Structure 1
């Protein structure tokens, strides 16, 4: 490599060793950080292109633009996010070769600034590791099932033992083939065996399956494997990088490592719990506490370097010590996520790719040997994960998907290879091949899992689960979803409406949904089994749900059984928790709260977009019937109260399901039901023989002739204030003359045409509305890629 002083940040360069490429350089002290601008004085030489800060800003701007362009181009191909950042590095590297673009690139990236941008952006990698440590629930290791432990340990141990056996048998032939590249051979072998929790969590997040059964199992196995790998590589690093008086240095480093491993959990973690206790409920953690933890993060990184460990080790250990979730864990993630993960980390990945040198000529034998060991390692690891998964009675497609997920590589491996390359543990050949292998493996894994695994497949092809299919006097199983404390009362009212009796009891699964913040592992807590091990900081919210349904069950002995539970997951994947619980509990209907809340004067008080998105996804994927409850105040349907219920009936499966709910409501004393049958011609008759045989007392049937949507709207406007509660079918996708024209004015399609009209604040109605969709038959997906 020939260096020209004009293409560097140095004043002069003198070559002193051609074979080892050593140079003697001369530079300004202190170096030029800022420039005097374009209109500097002739006496000052601090030009923008010879000053570190302007160059750093220009480099960051160029990398950001190229990364976003690559992301835009690669987005339709569903590749991992970091691939676009790596492709930006390849493009920048290609620009260095040609002229005249290469000369401008060498001016923009002069030799001497590489260390600057690498050092600054490495902070992003450290913060990324720290954040993932914060999001790990380390205590989950003690609560994991045998399946996760078995898959993790076998998937880690078998490839290493297989490699050790091959090395023991073929030591001399391998040394003749790979010669000086033996370190690179070992690094390729070990690094493609280990599993990184951060990489698996990022992959599952992009695939949107971390809430699925497969995703939770993969995260659990990755957590076990990552902890074991970190422990093993840390001990190995102590022995590998010891110099001078080896025994003394090894003992010193081991003692320092042991002291750090004791200090952080036994001193730092109790202090953090003290901070949590000092933080009032619902209030953010004070910034002063957060800044102390951030300073401690870099201090532990410095200690890690002093004991011959990577800087990120201290960040990882401290992250594990931080109590996951709000308030402290969530506050740290929110404070550091943008600066570290969103801003600095992509630049770090691009710079790591920029370091790879593909222009040099290498021995084809060495290239083949490194590629072969990577392929064989992955094949052995896939088999090691598939076999125990099949032994645990997993379907083959799911077992293969799990094995592929646990073989994924990503940002953590990029940082690892970069550090090993900087420390000259591996040469340029091994570094370039393994960097490219990350791209290949990540793309293959993501595309394959998208093709093989469909989390909604389990909901297809099962028996009918709706209220209409229930036998007379059979128990009704309802799943109610609660986001906020205000939803509790309306959901209990809804259960009252279904009239639990000793002959027809109701089993309620009350699911409290909480947004996942400051942790990576989704959590599901059945409170009847495991109330003391929830580990949540939103304890008052969950306690309100638990207490309310316990009291309701106590008030209705032998007719209502309540099972409260809590699910902590990302808003975009909450529907998986809802559908999984409904499927496992054989629920007949899911009751969801509407996303809008009105004040007493009719104004919109709150609008939860995430709740609406959840409702729409549940309507698409639910394994049973679904009801959306538009609550406008609590009626608490007690025996002494008189509740006026209106049923709007046009026909169809959804309206039949709504009619079944109305039939159950009529068994409760004090209920007054009016059935409005909208017909096109007056001579149409109501079939009282089947639909009305059990609805004789306190019922009024009224046939309404409506030939178009305007007549239906006029009728609904008249009766909107005459009732306390309406039950309607969603009738999504069904066209009828009675609703013609109303669809164009529908604001919320999830409520259907009639439900959306009744929910309009323009009617000034105080009636709550239950919009019912009967179970939708799902077809299993054959397989897909995009």
Structure 2
């Protein structure tokens, strides 16, 4: 890379370095001020950062002579290029590392069609734009410039798409992930097309093959290095700083070699991250160390540099102004038209198609790179400067416009794009099930991994599992007074990482062992907060991650003598608040240790029972059981509790109620719920019990006393009992059971099953279905 060589060999490297650092600091400060104002209107960070670059650039502050002389020097341009190269390389690697590979694999066809729609129409509009460029600006351009203008118009900037979707909190939605996948395909296609067009020779093709072999070799080296580092750092949270720098140096060096031979390293950097091993401390360390710097420093400066290159004075002439407006219009129109055609073919709703179109219209630094790499002798210097200023103006204004429009659409259509899969009963989750398991310490990790395993290995549809470590933030905390160079290897400057103690290592090791064994990836999160405010972070994560069910840990644990002992009071407070405020269904898991539920395997076949009394929560519990019934090492039995026939006043046992118009007019809400219950049980019976996949037992009881006796009869037969929290109304089958209720958050039946009085060895999972109204949580 020529810019890197010139920057290293500069006669006065200190002054340009100060200039570059000052520019970065100015962008960060000004963008933060802009963001404080713009976030009130729902605008994302990248818009504020680009505007900060515009303010700092030649459009405003750099018009002042002293500021211009300080920021815009001949030697600083090479530093900017080197920084942009390093930033782009690191982010593309991180993007590949964070990429949802299962989603990309199963939606590759859809993403390719959407990307192709925008690319094809973009190429057609690009030809029109190039002809207009020749007519309006009277430029005699070569084929290289023509192809570059077309590529700029057709391209989509995946870093900008990714960050904008993340800022607007819909990156985990189908629309957000589809936009990222389509933008990656579009960008990689444009990079490849640009490389072929600009250097179509056998020599260049041979270099490309060699660089492809270099990329493959580095992917293999990374795999073995990561495995070695994982084995070497068994008792540490992260790999050492030296090992981290080795991986980073290999990445930057390989990208530098690729750029040196005239190729853009974007695709290779992304492949390095995409093919990097997902399990172990190495990946966790890279994500941990790169994410904070990337999202809080690298990307704001990256976006700010895009705006910094914009010069509003270029649009002073009428022809230039018309050309910029025309290209912006054609860029937006090409993406919207192409994407809507593709979405119509794929039967994707129009609202989603419009959002996808504007997202794919976002531009970035890759367009500048394409223009800079053109042969210098294809245009005279004046025409070359005009074209580059045109591209900069189009990229900056187009990105700001598209970002503002997407934010506005998402704010107006908030209900449509918001978290919708809030329970298990309402859908069969034909596309994906997203779940979140929470642990307070290492003693809870085994049972939660068992639950994740039960879902992941049962469903034919994909399961995205998250594990969240909830750590109490003490009221009094002494900060570290260590400087960065005084930290030990594997530590981090922020003392937040000290929270969790040895539990963090044990949890990480358990997750890594499960991933190595089953190849099922568990995404880890950590919340450090006081128990009074912890539920807010958890509920925010539920919405951001768009999970359908969250599994909490009961505040009591089993002692060696079998008695249940209370843990921290804050755990119970947090569970109560999450039950009340969670925007999805909630399960509370009562762990019985070694005698209770374990991870299902050929050596540990689990007998599970679903207890059905009726009501919305029991139906949600039954929906949960549907999703684990296909597991090869789980034997599921449905135990249907029914009111004894001797006490029945109306109805019949065959589940077919007598209906007529008069009865429907007088039917109470309890009767409607009873009909829904019978329909759900009948459907479950036909689909799972009749083929012999699930066992079925009916128990007839008259009151709570008989129900308690029946529960005592079955308590040691199963390793896990699944039951709904409540929602049954005033059921005769549980009458009187609430008199000895100790933990109302478990409901009447769940509280009895979790109590020490029952003397059971079975774990208990109590399910509460998400309620749109929180007035009644019984």
User: Could you say what secondary structure the match of 2:311 adopts?
Assistant: coil
Q: Are residue 118 (structure 1) and residue 113 (structure 2) matched?
A: no
CA shift in 2, pair 1:749/1:180, >3 Å: farther
- Take 2:181 and 2:60, find their aligned partners in 1: how far apart are those partners? 43
Confirm or deny that 1:301 pairs with 2:255.
yes
Please say if 1:232 is aligned against 2:227: no
Alignment partners' CA distance in 2, 1:276 and 1:609: 41
* SS of 1:427 mapped into structure 2: helix
- Look up the match of 2:118: 155
Gaps of 5+ in 2: 1-8, 469-508, 527-537, 560-564, 599-607, 625-636, 643-669, 678-697, 709-719, 729-742
How far apart are the structure 1 equivalents of 2:408 and 2:375?
Answer: 30
**8 Å contact kept, 1:155–1:384:** yes
1:92 aligns with 2:56: yes
The answer for the alignment partner of 2:29 in structure 1 is 65
1:513 shift after superposition: 1.7
Find the aligned partners of 1:149 and 1:214 in 2 and give their Cα distance.
14
- Measure the CA separation in 1 of the matches of 2:545 and 2:62: 55
- The one of 46, 58, 67 equivalent to 1:105 is 67
How many residues of Structure 1 are paired with residues of Structure 2 in the alignment?
Answer: 586
Q: What are the superposed Cα offsets for residues 224-262 of structure 1, whole Å, 9 maximum, x if unpaired?
A: 3333222212223325xxxxxxxxxx4433322221012
Secondary structure of residue in 2 paired with 1:381: helix
Residue 31 of structure 1, aligned match among 3, 6, 12: 12
- Rounded to whole Å, the distance in 1 between the matches of 2:417 and 2:100 is 24
C-alpha distance in 1 between matches for 2:76 and 2:725: 64
Mapped pair 1:513 → 2:465: yes
Contact 2:611–2:722 at 8 Å: present in 1 too?
yes
Deviation at 1:336, TM superposition (A): 3.3
Match of 1:260 among 199, 211, 214: 211
Deviation of residue 69 (structure 1)? Answer: 1.1
The structure with the largest helix share of the pair is 2
| Counterpart-to-counterpart distance in 2, 1:420 and 1:605 | 66
Match of 2:135 among 161, 176, 199: 176
Match of 1:274 in 2: 224
Distance (whole Å) between structure 1 residues aligned to residue 26 and residue 546 of structure 2: 45
Listed one character per residue, the Cα deviations across residues 405-435 of structure 1 (whole Å, up to 9, x for unaligned) are 3333356557667888999573324422432
> Structure 1 residue 270: deviation in Å?
1.8
With over 3 angstroms needed to count, the CA separation of the structure-2 counterparts of 1:331 and 1:210, relative to structure 1, is: same
| Cα deviation digits, residues 126-177 of structure 1 (max 9, x gap) | 322332244447898765453333223233224314544x47xx95x76332
User: How far is 1:68 from its partner?
Assistant: 1.4
How far off its partner does 1:610 sit?
12
- Distance in 2 (alpha carbons) for counterparts of 1:382 and 1:177: 25
| Aligned partners of 2:27 and 2:301 also within 8 Å | yes
Taking the aligned partners of 1:610 and 1:187, their CA distance within structure 2 comes to 56
Displacement of 1:438 in angstroms is 1.5
Query: In the alignment, is the contact (CA less than 8 A) between 2:112 and 2:182 conserved in 1?
Result: yes
Partner of 1:191: 152
Give the secondary structure class of the aligned counterpart of 2:170: coil
Correspondences of 1:686-697 after superposition (within 5 Å): 694-696=700-702
1:323/1:483 CA distance change after superposition, 3 Å: same
Q: 1 CA distance for matches of 2:114 and 2:594? A: 50
Give the 3 Å change call, closer, same or farther, for CA 137–698 of structure 1 in structure 2: closer
Task: Give per-residue Cα distances to partners, 1:734-759, cap 9 Å, x unaligned.
Answer: xxxxxxxxxxxxxx998799999999
8 A Cα contact 1:195 1:407, kept in partner = yes
Residues 595 and 609 of structure 1 are in contact (CA less than 8 Å); yes or no, is this contact kept in structure 2?
A: no
Instruction: Judge conservation of contact 2:222–2:276 (CA < 8 Å) in 1.
Output: yes
Partner of 2:38: 74
CA contact (8 A) 2:44 2:168 kept: no
Task: Within 5 Å, give how 1:505-654 maps onto structure 2.
Answer: 513-514=465-466, 540-541=513-514, 568=523, 575=542, 592-594=551-553, 600=559, 602-604=566-568, 619-622=582-585, 626-631=586-591, 633=593, 636=596
Whether the 8 Å contact between 1:196 and 1:412 is mirrored in structure 2 is yes
Call closer, same or farther: CA 1:204–1:490 in 2, change over 3 Å.
closer
Kept in 2, the 8 Å contact 1:488–1:545? The answer is no
In the alignment, what sits opposite 2:629?
A: none
1:381 Cα deviation after fit = 2.5
2:172 alignment partner, SS class:
coil
Q: Distance in 1 between matches of 2:369 and 2:354?
A: 28
Does the CA-based 8 Å contact 1:480-1:591 persist in structure 2?
yes
8 Å Cα contact 1:304/1:313 also seen in 2: no
| Paired residues of 1:481 and 1:511 also in contact (CA < 8 A) | no
Q: CA deviation at 1:439?
A: 0.8
The answer to whether the 8 Å contact 1:591/1:627 transfers is yes
Give the whole-Å Cα distance in 1 for the aligned partners of 2:446 and 2:462.
9
Structure 1 contact 304–310 (Cα < 8 Å) conserved: yes
Match of 2:175 in 1: 214
Residue 592 of structure 1, CA deviation:
2.2
TM-score (norm 2): 0.59
- CA-to-aligned-CA distance 1:449-481 (integer Å, 9 cap, x gap): 443472458659999789xxxxxxxxxxx9986
User: CA RMSD for the aligned pairs?
Assistant: 6.1
Does structure 2 retain, via aligned residues, the 8 Å contact 1:129–1:316? yes
Contact 2:438 2:550 in 1 (8 A): no
- Say which of 368, 387, 411 aligns to 2:322: 368
Q: Evaluate the alpha carbon distance shift between residue 298 and residue 759 of structure 1 in structure 2; reply closer, same or farther with a 3 A threshold.
A: same
C-alpha displacement of 1:440:
0.9
- In structure 2, the CA distance between the partners of 1:120 and 1:69, relative to structure 1 (3 Å rule), is farther
TM normalised by structure 1 equals 0.58
Conserved 8 A contact 1:657-1:774: yes
Distance in structure 2 (CA, Å) of the matches to 1:150 and 1:29: 47
Which of 397, 411, 415 aligns to 2:351? It is: 397
Structure 1: where are the runs of 5+ without partners?
1-27, 34-50, 240-249, 467-477, 497-505, 517-535, 547-564, 583-589, 669-685, 703-723, 733-747, 780-786
Task: Give the match's secondary structure for 1:699.
Answer: helix
Residues 639-668 of structure 1: per-residue CA shift (max 9 Å, x gap): xxxx9x999x9x99769999999x976869
- The structure with the larger Rg is 1
